[in-house]
A = this chain, B = another copy of it.
Amino acid sequence: MSAGLSSQVSRDYQLTLTNFLERARRFFPRQEIVSRGAQGISRYNYRQFYRRVCRLDNALSALGIGQGDRVGSFAWNTHRHLELYFGLPCMGAVMHTVNIRLSPEQIAYVINHAQDKLLFIDEDLVPAIEQVAAKLPGVQRYVIMCEGELPPTSLAPVCSYEELLAEAPENYDFPQLDEGLPAGLAYTSGTTGDPKGVIYTHRMLFLHSFALALAGGFGISEADTTMALVPMFHANAWGIPYTSTMVGAKQVLPGPHPQPEEIAGLIQTERVSFAAGVPTVWIGLLQFLEQQNYDLSSLQQIVCGGSAVPLSLIKAYRDKLGLQIHQAWGMTEMSPAGSVGTLKRSMSDWPAEQQLAQQAKQGLLLPGLEMRVLDESGCEVPWDGETSGELLVRGPWVAREYYRDPEASAQRFAGGWLRTGDVVTVDRESYLQIVDRTKDLVKSGGEWISSVALENALMAHPQVLEAAVIAVPDERWSERPLAYVVLKPDQQLSAEELLGSITAQFPKFWLPDEVTFIDELPKTGVGKFNKRALRQLAQQRPRR
């Protein structure tokens, strides 16, 4: 976290989220924000949104929250979460979006590591926090974001979000903030060990919002109705809430557990023009739409990312629905947008299938960002579409370090560059394509699963000798983990028994779908598990 800036710099106009909040209120007071909740759809406009953010900030001040304090959220995409997205940073506090899909242990870890003073929780997610509350000594108060009365809960002290706001004054003087102050905090699970925190400064989120609104980026403007299907508890919902507010777009927040029926319904009734989510969402929607008729004619742009978008999905949307999927690539460490797979003008003459192949790449880096692709000896590889190397990026919205984790920072950040861990090629049009991952992570439904963490847990079982986890392709989740396990001599163990022993340590979706017992794991020259060989082995296994 950076401290105050020198007086020399403070002369510059500071790039803060308060600018966006004030702009939305003054320029687009009547534009709507639509939020799907447990009790149905609610809607208000930016003027009302602004007033509630003011009430929220008065309430936070009364609760003793001040500049630099971290406050956690544990919530879906709702208008209340959006109020936190602005209310916390604009008063100088830090919005920590806790990923609701983490394991109980990980949830406790990130809240304690962040030192969250308050925790804002959606009503249906209260049980998950009750489960770990005993391990959260630093949380001074729980705030439940419920529609009606406070539900019965073991959390204490506890209060209702709506009561907090109702009791707070409607006028609030936003402080002048330094653009280098932290505004947001999100944790990403890496290859080994605990989740790692990424601080987003006001400056990073301000510039990232401009990038998303570029005509050659995602082109979000006041004319759009945006719907982030990517959750607000993950990587800033790709920045869509901030950008939408900046440009004064209508926002649709799809609420808890949005399923294909709700998604199609919201697009149809609210006339959504811009929607973004991971491939799994779009695969599910496509299957649903093959049996149901909805009017999705308002949809002008679908952004898909989080993991590689199958070419077949882009093609299916184009051919069956007449809709264009734009692939995007990014990382939690990048606020998160990195590249977008729109076509260059010179490609407009290309045959349709060649265009499709190009759109299946991760595309061109957004303006402001820089990249390098390095081979194992640290030399830049040629941009020939064939030679691969590790992708390094830097830019105004790329983190410079992990939060309070010098060891992990040293591994991934150097000289201002972020080592993405992605192995890519770059073609002659400068489009990047991810071909592998340096660390063999599994990416399932847009979320990382650490193969190394799973291996360590499996190998912790007394009867297990060695275990290696690899990613295998999966139509629905992009990838799923597959475990190869070598038992100690003369041991007997079923897959069920083995998985049962690690269930408590991980989110449910982390658990391998298959466990294969083998006699020996292939190794590389330096004695590491040879995952390349394991992947080849997996290709030959019988299909379930």
- Shortest 6 CB-CB distances between A and B: which pairs? A216-B221, A215-B219, A215-B221, A6-B6, A27-B430, A210-B210
5 additional A-B pairs beyond A26-B383, A210-B214, beta carbons within 8 Å, are A2-B9, A3-B8, A207-B210, A213-B214, A223-B344
Considering only CB atoms, which chain B residue lies closest to A3 in the complex?
B8
Considering only CB atoms, which chain B residue lies closest to A209 in the complex?
B367
Q: From A213, A216, A220, A222, name the one whose CB has the most chain B CB atoms within 10 angstroms.
A: A216
Within 8 A of B (CB), among A187-236: 203, 206-207, 209-211, 213-216, 219-223
Question: With A and B bound together, what is the CA distance between A223 and B344 in angstroms?
Answer: 7
Question: With A and B bound together, what is the CA distance between A233 and B220 in angstroms?
Answer: 33
Stretch from A51-59, A393-401, A505-513, A529-537 at the B interface? A393-401
Knowing A210-B368, A213-B367, A215-B214, the reply to whether A9 touches B20 (Cβ < 8 A) is no
Jot down 24 A-B pairs with beta carbons below 8 A, ordered by A: A2-B11, A5-B5, A5-B9, A6-B6, A8-B180, A9-B9, A11-B400, A12-B400, A13-B395, A13-B396, A13-B416, A20-B367, A26-B430, A27-B364, A27-B365, A28-B344, A210-B368, A213-B216, A214-B214, A214-B215, A215-B221, A215-B247, A219-B219, A222-B345
Q: Which residues of B contact A247 (CB under 8 A)?
A: 214-216, 367
Knowing A5-B8, A395-B13, A396-B12, the reply to whether A19 touches B430 (Cβ < 8 A) is no
* Shortest beta-carbon distance from A397 to chain B in Å: 8
Within 8 A of B (CB), among A138-187: 180
A287 at the interface (CB under 8 A from B): no
Knowing A219-B215, A430-B26, the reply to whether A19 touches B368 (Cβ < 8 A) is yes
Q: From A19, A22, A207, A396, name the one whose CB has the most chain B CB atoms within 10 angstroms.
A: A396
A110 at the interface (CB under 8 A from B): no
Knowing A213-B216, A396-B13, the reply to whether A346 touches B8 (Cβ < 8 A) is no
